């Protein structure tokens, strides 16, 4: 595959941008570029019809390299993670998750309460617990199980425990990562520039 064929497969928008830059830089030499491109396309047309390509948008010479250059890449190693910043970040993420959980449970509870699901559950459990005598033999109050205070209270307790546990585990995880990174060198990552 010749250089012209390789360059013709590159992105046309990049090649057009290079063409305009070459024309601006070259000033009066645009006629020479056009005549050399016409000559090269005529030569490729003589060599075979199947291999003929339009190279009018691809410049010749060193500017062709600019059009086909790949994006820059950086190879980096994460050798240390600051535990204090991990703790702050994980606390904020846990707090946001708690708020989302609390709002979701409140909305679901309100929806189910409006639909009468909790009233039906309470009636069914009461009927099962009463037995044949008509009295509650176990002394349970199923209506209190589904009260909004109890449901949202348990949700708050679970959310608070999640905040404490996730923050603590993330901070301990950052400290463990630092210890392991000292031994094995950390995690290697490759960053590439967006095109």
> What's the pTM?
0.55
Average pLDDT across the chain, whole number: 74
Residues 14 and 94 in one domain: no
115-123: list long-range contacts, CB under 8 Å, 24+ apart. 118/146, 121/146, 122/146
Residues 65 and 107 in one domain: no
Domain end residue (candidates: 31, 50, 69): 69
Number of domains in the chain: 2
Residues 81 and 60 in one domain: no
90: left (phi over 0), alpha (psi -120 to 50) or beta: alpha
Q: Is the pLDDT of residue 13 over 50?
A: no
Segment 114-138, tens digit of pLDDT: 998 888 888 888 777 776 555 555 6
Please give the pLDDT value at position 66: 54
Alpha helices in 49-185, H assignment, sequence order: 63-68, 83-115, 117-130, 142-145, 148-184
Residues 126 and 185 in one domain: yes
Domain membership of residue 174 as a residue range: 77-192
Q: Which two tokens stand for residue 27?
A: 């000033």
Greatest mean pLDDT range, 82-96, 112-126, 132-146 = 82-96
Domain end residue (candidates: 69, 99, 116): 69
CA dist 93 and 167 (Å) reads: 9
Rg of the chain on CA atoms, in Å: 36
């Amino acid at each position: 595959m010749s250089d012209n064929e390789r360059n013709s497969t590159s992105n046309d928008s990049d090649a057009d941008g290079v063409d305009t830059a070459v024309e601006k830089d070259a000033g009066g030499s645009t006629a020479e570029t056009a005549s050399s491109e016409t000559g090269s396309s005529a030569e490729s047309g003589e060599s075979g019809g199947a291999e003929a390509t339009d190279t009018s948008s691809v410049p010749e010479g060193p500017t062709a390299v600019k059009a086909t250059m790949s994006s820059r890449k950086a190879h980096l190693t994460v050798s240390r993670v600051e535990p204090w910043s991990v703790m702050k970040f994980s606390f904020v993420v846990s707090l946001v998750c708690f708020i989302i959980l609390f709002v979701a449970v409140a909305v679901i509870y309100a929806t189910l309460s409006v639909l009468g699901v909790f009233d039906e559950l309470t009636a069914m459990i009461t009927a099962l617990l009463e037995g044949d005598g008509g009295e509650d033999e176990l002394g349970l109050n199923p209506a209190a199980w589904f009260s909004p205070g109890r449901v949202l209270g348990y949700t708050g307790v679970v959310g608070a425990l999640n905040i404490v546990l996730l923050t603590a585990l993330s901070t301990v995880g950052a400290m463990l990562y630092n210890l392991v990174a000292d031994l094995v060198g950390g995690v290697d990552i490759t960053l590439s520039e967006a095109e």
